[in-house]
Structure 1
């Protein structure tokens, strides 16, 4: 297995672990919008000093600035707000599963819009992953419709994030520099949304919620985000989308262990299909 695919799997594991911490933060007074803002805002000072220490230039071209704003607002803020808000309505496993409609959207977009030639084996892989994802969905018994809609929207926005990062060549920028500017844009966007919807609840959070918020921000900003950027740069958008399907499996397994969220036979089969799809993409895609 290539190092870049290992990066994607590690990134997926971290992203899959974050919702578990988020659920505990919610129990301590946080909510999805507040946690989304803190996830991006809290790491800005650390990223700033890392850039100074590594002597990375803060300069951006006009094109880079426009691309980062578009990527941060549409692909970043909208995706995170939708997903973390979905956690307030439905289980972490279901929300993350629905979010993962994005590999299918990425492959379709790459083929239709950008005329990328998609190998049959990669198409089979994304179909297996998508089918596996929806085997986790039980709309009649477990899902709040608002949560379902929010989770699907998060996947649509995130597919834009992956495709646009790759096509705009932003993935070739220094990963700390890109992450720093994306966090600025995403924190501003989320804060404005939180103010306008009166959904920022800093005063209601106890010390556990703050500790968990810092932990989530740290592992995603310095772990998941740069690892994913490396994977997209080396493997391309469509392969990155498929391999990162390990995220919902991580979220579902850890949700069962730490939160008591249950899985049935159909869900186990769905997990098997996801793993099969990822293996096919890794071996032959």
Structure 2
């Protein structure tokens, strides 16, 4: 069962790893941060209406779970907006890799507040992963502190989202219903924001709309679904650590499609990251163990 959990999370990491590439294409075609968030969730809603069987649409969700899903949707929306705002202030590569400190934040919060067990090798692997992330960031002069703080806050909000999906047992709900409610609440929140600030670009190019549709399939639909399934099986700490494959996928996409330069620091960062992940998952005292599901 654990192997299936690994498969789900790695697959979600691959899908989420395509997000920076698709988002960049949308920006190049007239989109903005609010529009990206709105259309990716709107398209997800439309797709889910046809995907979810009618009997599942009538499935009752406890009101307390709906409230928590609403709160989680705010965290997801804040994550995207904070990260995209940081892109305006610091290089996207640095901002993205600061964001990927969220698995470390989850591991720390789980250990302090939920007393989740971590082996000594886990602690050492976390240090190795942090070093790898710093290498992936690179070193630049004139670093904008405010942009860095925004990127770090996006890591906190996303980490809280993953933690709440497990701790509030939201990952145990019907995965498609949960994804539908998340997308619905995010669309509703952005519409309210639009009525106040006219922030959605309603006249994006057709190319931008097509990329938004692909983004919806990769992230807001299947990416979220596979991540929820993985969290249910593996727990939040192990699932979030596997999500560190996302920056590696983003890096490969940047090299292949955007002809981005590969630097020595980048190669070293990848080596440290992969080695840290290997140590973390090879520890016999792995964190956040879950009971196999029947």
| TM-score, structure 1 normalization | 0.91
Supply the distance in 1 between the matched residues of 2:223 and 2:73 (Cα, whole angstroms): 16
Aligned residue number for residue 148 of structure 2: 148
Q: CA deviation at 1:97?
A: 0.8
2:257 aligned with 1:266 = no
Instruction: Map 1:236-275 onto structure 2 (within 5 A).
Output: 236-275=235-274
2:23 aligned with 1:17 = no
Q: Which runs of 5+ in 1 are unaligned?
A: none
Change (3 A) 1:153 1:114: same
Supply the distance in 1 between the matched residues of 2:243 and 2:61 (Cα, whole angstroms): 29
Aligned residue number for residue 94 of structure 2: 94
The size of the alignment, in residue pairs, is 283
Instruction: Map 1:167-186 onto structure 2 (within 5 A).
Output: 167-186=167-186
RMSD over aligned CA atoms reads: 2.0
Q: Which runs of 5+ in 2 are unaligned?
A: 287-294
Supply the distance in 1 between the matched residues of 2:215 and 2:8 (Cα, whole angstroms): 18
Supply the distance in 2 between the matched residues of 1:142 and 1:57 (Cα, whole angstroms): 54
Q: Specify the SS of the correspondent of 1:43.
A: helix
Supply the distance in 2 between the matched residues of 1:256 and 1:195 (Cα, whole angstroms): 39
Q: Specify the SS of the correspondent of 1:116.
A: coil
Aligned residue number for residue 135 of structure 2: 135
Q: Please, which moves more after superposition, 101-110 or 212-221?
A: 212-221
Aligned residue number for residue 61 of structure 1: 62
Change (3 A) 1:94 1:256: farther
Aligned residue number for residue 42 of structure 2: 41
Aligned residue number for residue 4 of structure 1: 5
Supply the distance in 2 between the matched residues of 1:278 and 1:72 (Cα, whole angstroms): 29
| TM-score, structure 2 normalization | 0.89
Deviations 1:185-224 (A, max 9, x none): 1222233345545432222x21110110011011223321
Supply the distance in 1 between the matched residues of 2:121 and 2:198 (Cα, whole angstroms): 47
Change (3 A) 1:113 1:221: same
Q: CA deviation at 1:43?
A: 1.6
Q: CA deviation at 1:141?
A: 4.2
Q: Please, which moves more after superposition, 217-226 or 86-95?
A: 86-95
> Are the aligned partners of 2:138 and 2:265 in contact in 1 as well (CA < 8 Å)?
no
